[in-house]
Structure 1
C-alpha cells in the first residue's frame, strides 16, 4: 500500500511525522535562519536567495500552523511583522546542526567521494 499525505498525517512514526513538517522546499533553511533570532520578512527573503515572496509566505504560514514559528505583527505604518521560533521550533535546530555536520563531513569535501574510497 502506497503512503499518501493523508496517511502520513495519521502516522504514528515520529520520523514520518517530522519529515512531513520539514520536508518542504526552503523549510529547513527558514528554520536555520530563524535560529539566530527574530527576523523580518524581507530579511528572510534576502538571506534565502531564489525564494519567491509567495513561497516564503506559504512556508512561514505552514510553520506557524504547526506551532514552529511565531508571527508578531506591530500596528505601525508601514506595518512591521517579525518571525521567531517557538520552543518547538528551537528543538529542530539540533536536527539542522546534525545535517550541517553530516554535510561538512561527507558532502563538502574538495575531492569527489570516489577518490576518497
Structure 2
C-alpha cells in the first residue's frame, strides 16, 4: 500500500481588508501625520515641529510610504530652499472617520 504524500498548499498571501488598511496607516508615525494633515496642507518643517518625537528620517519614510499608498500628495515648489507641501488625497481624507472612531474607542476603554 503506497503512502499518500499529498500535502495541501497554504496560500502565500491572505487577502484581508483590515490588513490592507493597516498596511497603509499602521506605521508608528502614520497616525500623527494623518492627524496633522486632517487640518490641512502642511510643509515638512511644520510636520517636524508638530510631531517633535519623530526624526527627520522616520518622517520622510512615513511620508514616502503614505504617498506610495495614495493617501497623500507631495508637491514640490522650486524655491531656495525647496518648499515641499503634503496634502491628503480623497483616499486619505476617507481615513478620517476610521481614525475618529479609534479615538472614541480609546477614550472609552483606555
Q: TM-score, normalised by structure 1?
A: 0.79
Counterpart in the other structure of 1:26: 29
SS of equivalent residue, structure 2 residue 80: coil
Gaps of 5+ in 2: 1-11
Report the Cα offset of residue 12 of structure 1: 2.5
State how many pairs are aligned.
99
- 4+ long deviations beyond 4 Å: none
User: Aligned ranges for residues 1-117 of structure 1 at < 5 Å?
Assistant: 7=13, 11-107=14-110
Q: Which has the larger radius of gyration?
A: 2
Partners of 1:91 and 1:103 in 2: CA distance = 20
SS in 2 for 1:81: strand
SS of the residue aligned with 1:12?
coil
CA root-mean-square deviation: 1.3
What is the CA deviation profile of residues 57-90 of structure 1, one whole-angstrom value per residue up to 9, with x for unaligned ones?
0000010000001000001112111001000000
